[in-house]
Chains A and B, each alone.
Chain A
C-alpha cells in the first residue's frame, strides 16, 4: 500500500522565549514559541516549579489573548456622557498631562481625594508603594471582595494561609479534604497534586455544594449547605475531642493551647496572663511552676490551672465538647447526616494517628530542643473561596485551621505546609498606616494586620479615615481593604467625597461589583451642580471591558506577553514549600499598538507629580521604566523586588546589592529563580531553628521569628473587650453586640447574615470555570467556544417542584432584585442550591463581541441580586453585606426564590449597548 510521506520532523519555531503566564493568578512558567516574530504556540515550561511543564486551558489559549480584537489601541479621553462609551484617541503626553493636572492639586491639598484601587493586579507591592508616595490612605487591591477572610484567618491563626500560600504535602499525604466552591489561584499545582494523590491510591474528599471540577474526581463528596462549613468543622472537632483524638504533644509545644487565659474581671479578662516582663508564660509539667513559653526543655502543661487561670486548651475543649456541636445537633443545618460527620471524624483520626509517618530528619526547635526525627500526620486540607465568601467566612476559615492544628496537620510531613515568605506571624506584619499630610507620603504601608482597637483607621471623632471604611469597627481586620465599598461610599459622600477614582484592571461597572446596575448609576449620577458625583475616573485596562465606558481617561495597558512584571517576594511570590521562588515577565513580543505597561505609566506619572522615591534630586526620573525599577529599587538595603542573582557577581540569594544584569539573568534562567530550603528545615518551619536561620539569611526576616499558632486570638479578644466597654477606644453602641459575637477569640459558627431573609429559601452561588478562572475577560476566541453560556443550574428537587424543562427560564428574586435567566438541570448539587458560571455574561458592545453574542444575550450576572448593603433592620443603620471581621464581600450569603417562566429571547436585566471603543471582532488573526 502506498502511504503518503509525512514530514514527522517539521520546523517547530524560530525561537522559544520563556516568561510567566498571566491568564490567571497561578503564575506558571511558559515557553512562548515565535515564528517570524509572532507568537505561534504556547506550552508549559518543564523546569518551572509551579507547573512543571503542564499548562491549563487558559494558558494554552494565551495566543488568542495577544491577538484579541478587544485590545485597546491608544489612550482615550471621554467625549460623550459617562457610560456611553464615546471617546477620542489622544497622545500619551496629553493623557499623562490630564492625569497630572487632576492629581497634582489633590496631592498638595487633600491626598485622600484620590482613591486608587487595583483589581487583578500582580504588582501590589509596587502599586501600594506608589500610592504611599502619593500620600492617599485610599489604596487597596481586590482582596476585599475576593478572599480576605481566608488570608486574614490564616495569618491570625497560623501565620500563613491557603490560596497559593501553602500546599498539601502531595508526595506523602494519605487523605486530602478539599473545602469550598470555585477554582483556585494554585490551579495547576492542585491539579498536579490531585493527580499524584489518586495515582498513589490516596483518598480525596470534596466538601462543596456543587460536584464539579475537583469534586467530580473526589472519592467522596459531601454536598454541604452553603455557609455551614464552619458548623460541620466544629462538629468534627467535637468528635475528635470527645474521643481524645487530638495531637496533645503538638498542641503543647507549637500552639498557644498551654498559655493561661486571664479570668480576672476587668480590662485584662480573656487576655493571656503575663509575667513581670509582659510575656505570656506556661506552666512547666516538670516543675508545676511558671516557665517561659520558649524556654529550653520546657514542657508546657495543657491541663494547668494557675491562680484560677486556665489554659487555652481547657477553654477550647470545654466549648467544643458542648452538645451544641454534636453531629446530631448540626446535621440538619449542614445538610449532612450525623453518621457522615462521625465517619469523617473517624477517618481523619485514623489517618492522622494510626497511619502517622516518620521521617529520619533530625532538627532543632526554637527552644533549643533537638529532635531525632519528624513525625507526620498525613492528613491535608485545602479550602477554596466558597467557605470564605460568607459573612461568617473568617470564623469558618479559622475553624478549619483549628481542625488542622488539633490533628497536628500543619507543617508536618504528609500534611499541609506554608510557602516562603510564610510562615510569618501577625507580629511580623505591618499594622495599617493612614497618616495623611498634604504634599507628603503616607506614614507607612496602607494595609496590615490590626492587633487592637487603637490601630483602627479612625479619626478622633470616630469617623473612618479610608473611603472604603476598612479598619473600622464594622470590619476591624480588613487587611485587604474593601474595594466593593469604594464606589458606593464615594457616591454617598460617606465618610467623605472624593475627587478622582483611579482603577486598574477591575471591572467595577460589571461583574466585579455587587449590584452592578446600581453601581452604573452611581458612576453616572450628577449632583445639583451638574458635575458627576464622582468627579473624575481614570482607568487602566488592556481590553475594552465594561468599565472602560465609565471612565473619563483611559490608560491602555499591554497584554501579558508585551510587558515587564515581577512575581515578587515582597508581594505574592511563586514559592513552593521547599523553595522560595520568584519570577518575571518580559516583553517576548512588542506591542503593535500605542499602549504602555501600566506600571511604567505610574512611574512616569510619579515623576510628573514629583513623588519623592521616583525622582532624582534634579527632578529627573529615577527609574526609566518598570523593568528599571524591578532591578534597581531596594525596599530594605540589599532586598529588592527580585531575590535571585543579586550582587555584582550575581551570586546573592535574597540579599545583595543591585545587579544591573539581574533581568537578563532571570531571562536566561527561564524567567524564574528558586532558593531551596535546607532539607532539615523543610517541615515544622515556624519552630524549626534551621528554617528560621535560613529565612534570615535569604532576607525574609531580619531576625528569627518563631511563634505559637493562635488557637486563642488575643487581637480578637481585645475587640471583644472594647465592645464590653473596656479601654479608651470604644465602638459605637449599635455595633457592640455584633463585635462580641464575631470577634470571639475561639472559632465559632453563626448563621450567615443572608439567612435572615424570610421567604428566600434557596442558596445561590457562582463559580468560574477552570478554563476561565481569574482570566481577564472571556472574549478569548477559543475559551468562549468552551464556555459561552451560563445557565442557572437547578437541583433535581427544585427542578421537579417547579416542573422545569430544558429551554425554560426562571425568574430569580432576592431581597435586592430580580433577574430572568435560562435554566439547566443538575443532579450533582446540594438540593437547596442553584448556581451559575460567573462573569460569562457580557454587556452588548463590550469586549469587541457581536451584539448577538450569547454572552450578551443569554449570559447573565447574579450580581444584580446582591446588594453591597444588607436590607434595613429598622435601627436606622445600613450594614455592609460583608464579613464583620474582615469586611470580605459576602457574595455567597445570597438567598433567592425561583419561579418558572416561559423561554425568553434574552436574559434580564438587559442594558443598552455600549458605544464601541474598539471595532467589533471579525475573523481571528
Chain B
C-alpha cells in the first residue's frame, strides 16, 4: 500500500485530440525509441522476428469503429476513431495505492506517476488495478513499465529548450498531442480543454485522470450551402443561350 500525495504542485499531462489523430502510430514508435534508451530498463521485444512477436510499448494506438444511431430513419456513415492510449497520470491513481513496495508513486512536484524500478518486484498488481490497461510488464527486465511523460526529456538541460517535451508530442505529425500543466487553468492545455470540451476517460472509475481527450468534431453534417441554381433552363434555351448568359457576366 503506497500513499498518494494530497496535492501536487503541478499536474503535467497530455491532451490528445481525437479529432485530428489519423492513427499513424508515429507517437508509438517515437515513444518506443526514446524510452528504449531512456528512463529505466529498455523496452524489450520478444520474438521480434518470430511467429508471435510481442514487446513493451508505453503508448499504443487503437482504432475503433463507430456506427452512429439511426436518426430520423437515416443511417449516417460509420466512422473510425483512432485512440492513443497511455498512462493518464491520475490524481487518484489506483496503480499507486495498490503497490506493495512503494515502487509506484506519484511525484509531488508535477504529478507524474512513475515506477521506481529498483523497488519494483514485478508483481503486476498495479497493471491489474489500472482500469486503462496503461502499464506493461517488461518480459526481459521483469519490471513494470509505463509512460513517464518523458521525465528524462521535459526537464533535461542537455536538450534544447524547445525539445523539452515528451517524445510523442514532439513527433506527432498532425499536432494531435499537447503537453502542459493541467493544474493551471491559464495554461494553453487547460484552455484547449475548456474550449474543445475535453473530457476524462472513464470518469466512473473515479481515478481523476490528468490526461484529457478532445472529442472528434461532429462529422457528416448535412451540407449547409444552398444548392446552386442553374443560370437558366439549358434544355429550353440551348447551349447558345447558356453561353450568352454566362459570358454576359464577364
Contacts and interface: CB of A to CB of B under 8 A. Distances in A.
Contacts of A3: 105, 107-108
B198 to A, nearest CB: 15
A779 B21 CA distance: 25
B220 to A, nearest CB: 6
A853 B51 contact: yes
A194 B158 contact: no
Given A43-B171, A770-B24, A350 B225 contact: yes
A574 B133 CA distance: 41
Given A9-B157, A191-B24, A221-B219, A242 B228 contact: yes
A668 interface: no
Nearest to A61: B29
Contact of B228 (A54, A211, A240, A317): A240
A306 interface: no
A781 B48 contact: yes
B242 interface: yes
B19 A10 contact: no
Contacts of A53: 170-171
Nearest to A345: B228
Contact of A779 (B34, B39, B49, B219): B49
Nearest to A193: B174
The interface centre, meaning the residue of B53, B79, B105 with most chain A CB atoms within 10 A of its CB, is B53
A245 B250 contact: no
Contacts of B50: 849-850, 852-853, 921
Interface stretch (B85-93, B148-156, B204-212): B148-156
Contacts of A223: 77
A828 B65 contact: yes
Interface in B9-61: 19-26, 28-30, 32-34, 37-39, 44-45, 47-55, 57
Given A57-B29, A345-B228, A921-B48, A10 B38 contact: yes
A194 B172 CA distance: 12
Given A195-B175, A317-B242, A349-B228, A853 B49 contact: yes
A140 to B, nearest CB: 31
A762 B6 CA distance: 61
Interface string A766-787: 0000110000000101111110
Contacts of B220: 219-221
A211 B37 contact: no
A663 B51 CA distance: 44
B175 A216 contact: no
B20 A850 contact: no
Contacts of B173: 51, 54-56, 187-188, 191-192, 195
A566 B51 CA distance: 38
Contacts of B219: 218-221
B186 interface: no
Interface in A288-347: 302-303, 314, 317-318, 321, 323, 340, 342-347
Given A53-B170, A60-B171, A244 B38 contact: no
Nearest to A779: B49
Interface residues of B, number: 88
B67 interface: yes
A37 interface: no
B247 A346 contact: no
B81 interface: yes
A413 B41 CA distance: 51
Interface residues of A, number: 105
A240 B67 CA distance: 33
The interface centre, meaning the residue of B22, B105, B173, B228 with most chain A CB atoms within 10 A of its CB, is B173
A346 B152 contact: no
B118 to A, nearest CB: 7
A3 B54 CA distance: 32
A782 B55 contact: yes
Nearest to A785: B53
B22 A248 contact: no
Nearest to A302: B247
Given A56-B171, A244-B249, 7 more contacts: A11-B158, A60-B33, A212-B63, A317-B246, A346-B227, A349-B228, A785-B54
Interface of B: 3, 5, 19-26, 28-30, 32-34, 37-39, 44-45, 47-55, 57, 63, 65, 67, 77-82, 105, 107-108, 114, 116, 118-119, 151-152, 154-159, 162, 167, 170-176, 216-217, 219-221, 223, 225-231, 234-235, 239, 242-247, 249-250
Interface of A: 1, 3-4, 6-12, 35, 40-44, 46, 51, 53-61, 63, 69, 187-188, 191-192, 194-196, 198-199, 211-221, 223, 239-246, 248-249, 252, 302-303, 314, 317-318, 321, 323, 340, 342-347, 349-350, 770-771, 779, 781-786, 788, 796, 826-829, 848-854, 857, 920-924
Which 7 interchain pairs have the tightest Cβ spacing?
A: A921-B49, A852-B51, A195-B174, A191-B173, A827-B78, A243-B228, A343-B223
13 contacts: A7-B152, A9-B152, A11-B158, A46-B162, A191-B173, A195-B20, A216-B63, A242-B230, A321-B239, A340-B223, A343-B223, A346-B228, A350-B225
